[in-house]
Structure 1
Amino acid sequence: MPLLLVNVFLIALFAACGFAFGAPLIGVMVGLTLCLATLLWYKSATGMVLKTLQAPRLTEETARDPIQLMFLGDAQQMRDLAGLSHTQIHIVETHLPLAFSMGTRKGPSKIVISNGLLKTLTRAEIAAVIGHELGHLRAGDAMLNAMRMTLSQFVTKTGLRPVFSAFRRVLPGSTLLAGVLMKPECRADAYSAALCQDPKILASALKKLERGVRAVQWSALEELPFLAEVAVVNPFLAKESYDRPEKSETAHRLAELYRLEPEERAA
C-alpha cells in the first residue's frame, strides 16, 4: 500500500505540473517513468542491502555450527506459527547483536540476524526477537525498509548526511511524533509476546540487547545509518540513553510489555 500511494502521488503530481505548463501528456509520461524507476528500486533494494552487509541466506546446508542450525529450526517453527513460512533467514558476520526485517506479509520477506545476536541472547530470547520481526512483517512495517536503507547509503556517500542529521535532531523534541514512531515497535513487541505467551522473554532480550549494542562498534552503520533504526534496539539511541535513561525507548517498550494482561498474552 505505501508503494502504491507513492506511485499514485508521482503520477498525479507530474500530471498536474504538466497540465499547468500546457503539456499534460509529458507530465503523465514523466510520472509513469518515475513510477517504473521506483518499482525497480523496490525490487532491487533488498538484494543491494544483503550484498552490502554480506548477509548470505541461512539454510541447513549453509549453517556453520550447531547453534546456527538450532536457531534455524526455531525460526522455521516461529515462521510457521505466524503464517509466514515463505520468509527467508539471512545472517551477518558481526559482533553487533542485530536483527531486522525486510519485505511484506504476502510477498518476499527476509529476516536478517547477526552472529552477535546468537551469542548475546538465550534460545528463548532469540525466538522472541524473531517473533518481533515477524510482527513487523505481518503489520507491513518492513515493506520499505530496504529502500530506506539504500537511500540512507546514497545520502551518506553523497555527503548529504549532515543536512539530514540536523533535520532529524529536532524530531525527538515532539512527544507526539515520538509516540507515533514507537507504535510499530510496541505492536511488534506485543505480537512476539503473544507468540511466546510470555512478555518477560522479550523484555529480557531487550535489556540484553541495549547493553550489548552500547559496547560494540560496527563500521557498517557508517554506510547504512538507517540500519540502526530498523534494528530491534537502535544502537545510537541505546548509547544516548546511558547518560539520559529517561529518554530510553527501550524503557518505554518494557513498560508496555509489562502492561500486557495474561489473557492478551495467550491470545
Structure 2
Amino acid sequence: MGYARTALLLAGMTALFLGVGYMLGGEAGMMIALVFAAGMNLFTYWNADKMVLGMYGAREIQRADLPWLHDMIQQLARRAELPMPKVYLIEQDQPNAFATGRNPENAAVAATRGLLERMSHEEVAGVMAHELAHVKNRDTLIMTITATIAGAISMLANFALFFGNNRNNPLGLIGTLAMMFLAPLAAMLVQMAISRSREYEADRLGAEICGRPLWLASALAKLEKGAATIDNHAAERNPATAHMFIINPLHAHAVDSLFSTHPNTQNRIAALQRMAGAGNTSRGPWD
C-alpha cells in the first residue's frame, strides 16, 4: 500500500510540474520543463548525498573509531541483505539520524553524537534499522526526486509571473497568478505526504530488520523529546532537508497535518506496539 500511494503522489507531482510548464509556454514549455526536471534529477542523483552530509559537517568513521556502532550496523545490514553502508557521525547534541545515497551500493547512514549518548544500544539498533529500511526501499532517491521537482515547480511558477503566460491558457493572467501561489503550495503538500508515507513504511521494515519493534518505539519517544528541547542549528539553516531525519529536527508540532514532514510520533509508536503485540516480525530479535 505504501508503494502504491507513493507512486500515485509522484505521478501527481509530475503532472503538476508538466502543467506549470504548459501554462508557462504551451507544449514547448511542458517539454522544456520535462528536460529541466530530468537534468536537475540527474545532478542530484549523483551529488545529493555529498551535499547533505557536508551541510551537517558529518565525519565518516571507521570501525576503529566506534567498534560497537560499526559492528551493529554491519550485522543489521546483513540481516537486511544490504551492502555495508558508510557510517558518519555528526557532532550535534540533538539525538537524530538520517540515511542518504543514490542506491544501496552507495549508501550512508549518519547518526548524531546526541543519539549515541542518549540512547541504549538497543534503541540505537532500532534507529539504524529504520535508516537501513530507507536504504532498502530507495527512499533517499525518492525524496531527492520529490524535493527537486518541488523546487523546480516553485522556480517555474516565478518564471510564469515575470515572463508572461501561454496565450492559449484559458485562465489568462488570473490563472497565471493563481498558479504562481497555488502550484508551489500543492507541490509542498505532495512532498510532505510522500515523506510521511515513507516514514511509516521504514518503521515497519526497520522493526522487521532488527526483530524488535519496541526498540524503535522506545527510541522514537526519546527522539521526539530530544528534538523538542535541543536545537539543531544546521537543520534550522537548511529546513528543506528536515524530511530526511527520523524525527523532525525543526521543533515543529508533531502532528499528522498537511504541513508536517513526519507522521505523528505517537501514531508511529502505536503502530510499532501493535506490530510487537501481533508478532509481526519476519525474524527473531537482533543480538
Taking structure 1 as the reference length, the TM-score comes to 0.71
The answer to whether the aligner puts 1:231 opposite 2:245 as a matched pair is yes
CA distance in 1, matches of 2:151, 2:26: 35
1:257 to 272, 275, 278: 272
On the 8 A contact 2:74/2:84 being kept in 1, the answer is no
Aligned to 2:221: 207
Q: Report the aligned-residue RMSD.
A: 4.4
How many residues are paired up?
A: 239
CA distance in 1, matches of 2:93, 2:51: 22
On the 8 A contact 2:93/2:113 being kept in 1, the answer is yes
For the residue of structure 1 that corresponds to 2:88, the secondary structure is strand
Question: What aligned pairs does 1:171-190 form with structure 2 within 5 A after superposition?
Answer: 181-190=195-204
Q: Cα distance 1:31–1:255, how it changes in 2: closer, same or farther (>3 A)?
A: closer
State the percentage of identical aligned residues: 24
Q: What are structure 2's unaligned runs of at least 5 residues? A: 1-5, 153-157, 159-180
Q: What are structure 1's unaligned runs of at least 5 residues? A: 155-159
1:39 to 20, 37, 42: 42
On the 8 A contact 2:73/2:84 being kept in 1, the answer is no
Give, as a single letter, the amino acid of the residue that structure 1 aligns with 2:216: L
On the 8 A contact 1:104/1:138 being kept in 2, the answer is no
Q: Cα distance 1:84–1:15, how it changes in 2: closer, same or farther (>3 A)?
A: same
CA distance in 2, matches of 1:196, 1:109: 19
On the 8 A contact 1:14/1:31 being kept in 2, the answer is no
On the 8 A contact 2:86/2:109 being kept in 1, the answer is yes
Aligned to 2:168: none
TM-superposed deviation, 1:191 = 1.4
Aligned to 1:75: 73
Q: Post-superposition, which runs of at least 4 consecutive aligned residues in structure 1 deviate over 6 A?
A: 12-17, 26-30, 147-154, 177-180
Q: Cα distance 1:94–1:79, how it changes in 2: closer, same or farther (>3 A)?
A: same
TM-superposed deviation, 1:143 = 1.1
Give, as a single letter, the amino acid of the residue that structure 1 aligns with 2:246: V
Q: Cα distance 1:84–1:149, how it changes in 2: closer, same or farther (>3 A)?
A: same
Question: What aligned pairs does 1:101-112 form with structure 2 within 5 A after superposition?
Answer: 101-112=99-110
Q: Cα distance 1:31–1:225, how it changes in 2: closer, same or farther (>3 A)?
A: closer
Larger RCO: Structure 1 or Structure 2 (Cα < 8 Å, ≥ 6 residues apart)?
Answer: 2
CA distance in 1, matches of 2:46, 2:105: 11
Aligned to 2:56: 53
